[in-house]
């Protein structure tokens, strides 16, 4: 067997091993749509909260007036994003003859779930304690950490989105009155940019 043929075979084996070890059915279009959902939710929340907010004058009882609506918006964005991502992942996997639910997707889910659940509980504690100004940066930072952890089991590009989310969260912590604006930039604009890059790079 010629040396070139050996190299080609080794390359094919390496590619097959990487595909089996990583979840590569993520859709760039899902990222774009998730960003659009987040921007729509942020616009609605903006009118409810009248951002920027003077958090020094906000109390937990005052927040209770709009909290149910804000939770409903957040849940709607989350559910729409997850359903879209799962549906498009199944379509992409079926088109390539791959399985969506495997060891790589299970590990990706675990390494995303731990920081996301931790951040979610922490945000509830912050709301209860009245630390409203750091809820938005907390969500961005923990989401970024979740993406970095999950990037080991999918496209490495996800890591860079995670780093951008963390930086956005740290900036948001410096300007708490504009948390909703930066939340829209982090979950909306960054997702659209990331999704567009992923679509052009992997989905076409």
pLDDT at 17 over 60: no
Return d(Cα 200, Cα 195) in angstroms, integer: 9
What is the residue range of 56's domain?
A: 28-203
The secondary structure of 26-53, three-state, reads: CCHHHHHHHHHHHHHHHHHHHHHHCCCC
Residue 6 belongs to some domain of the structure: no
pLDDT tens string 69-105: 878 888 899 899 889 888 887 777 777 666 666 676 7
- Give pTM, 2 decimals: 0.77
Residue 79 belongs to some domain of the structure: yes
**Burial code of 2-22, b = ≥16 C-beta within 10 A, e = fewer?**
eeeeeeeeeeeeeeeeeeeeb
Residue 123 belongs to some domain of the structure: yes
pLDDT at 4 over 60: no
Residue 124 belongs to some domain of the structure: yes
The secondary structure of the chain, three-state, reads: CCHHHHHHHHHHHHHHHHHHHCCCCCCHHHHHHHHHHHHHHHHHHHHHHCCCCCHHHCCHHHHCCCHHHHHHHHHHHHHHHHHHHHHHHHHHHHHHCCCCCCHHHHHHHHHHHHHHHHHHHHHHHHHHHCCHHHHHHHHHHHHHHHHHHHHHHCCCHHHHHHHHHHHHHHHHHHCHHHHHHHHHHHHHHHHHHHHHHHHHHHHC
Residue 21 belongs to some domain of the structure: no
Integer-rounded Cα Rg, in Å, for the chain is 20
Window from 10-24, 32-46, 141-155, 181-195 with minimum mean pLDDT: 10-24
Return d(Cα 178, Cα 168) in angstroms, integer: 12
What spatial distance separates the first Cα and last Cα of the chain, rounded to whole Å? 34
Q: How many domains does the chain fold into?
A: 1
pLDDT at 62 over 70: no
Residue 194 belongs to some domain of the structure: yes
Per-residue pLDDT, averaged over 20-47, amounts to: 79
């Amino acid at each position: 067997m010629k040396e070139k043929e050996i190299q080609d075979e080794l390359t094919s084996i390496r590619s097959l091993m990487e595909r089996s070890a990583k979840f590569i059915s993520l859709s760039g279009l899902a990222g774009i749509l998730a960003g659009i959902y987040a921007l729509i939710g942020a616009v609605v929340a903006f009118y409810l909260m009248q951002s920027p907010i003077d958090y020094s004058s906000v109390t937990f009882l005052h927040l209770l007036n709009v909290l149910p609506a804000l939770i409903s918006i957040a849940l709607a964005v989350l559910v729409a994003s997850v359903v879209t991502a799962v549906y498009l992942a199944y379509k992409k996997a079926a088109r390539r003859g791959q399985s969506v639910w495997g060891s790589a997707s299970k590990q990706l889910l675990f390494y995303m779930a731990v920081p996301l659940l931790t951040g979610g509980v922490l945000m509830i504690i912050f709301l209860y304690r009245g630390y409203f100004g750091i809820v938005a940066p907390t969500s961005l930072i923990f989401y970024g950490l979740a993406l970095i952890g999950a990037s080991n089991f999918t496209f490495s590009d996800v890591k860079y989105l995670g780093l951008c989310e963390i930086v956005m969260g740290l900036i948001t912590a410096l300007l708490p009155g504009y948390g909703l604006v930066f939340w829209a930039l982090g979950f909306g604009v960054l997702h659209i940019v990331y999704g567009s890059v992923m679509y052009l790079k992997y989905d076409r």
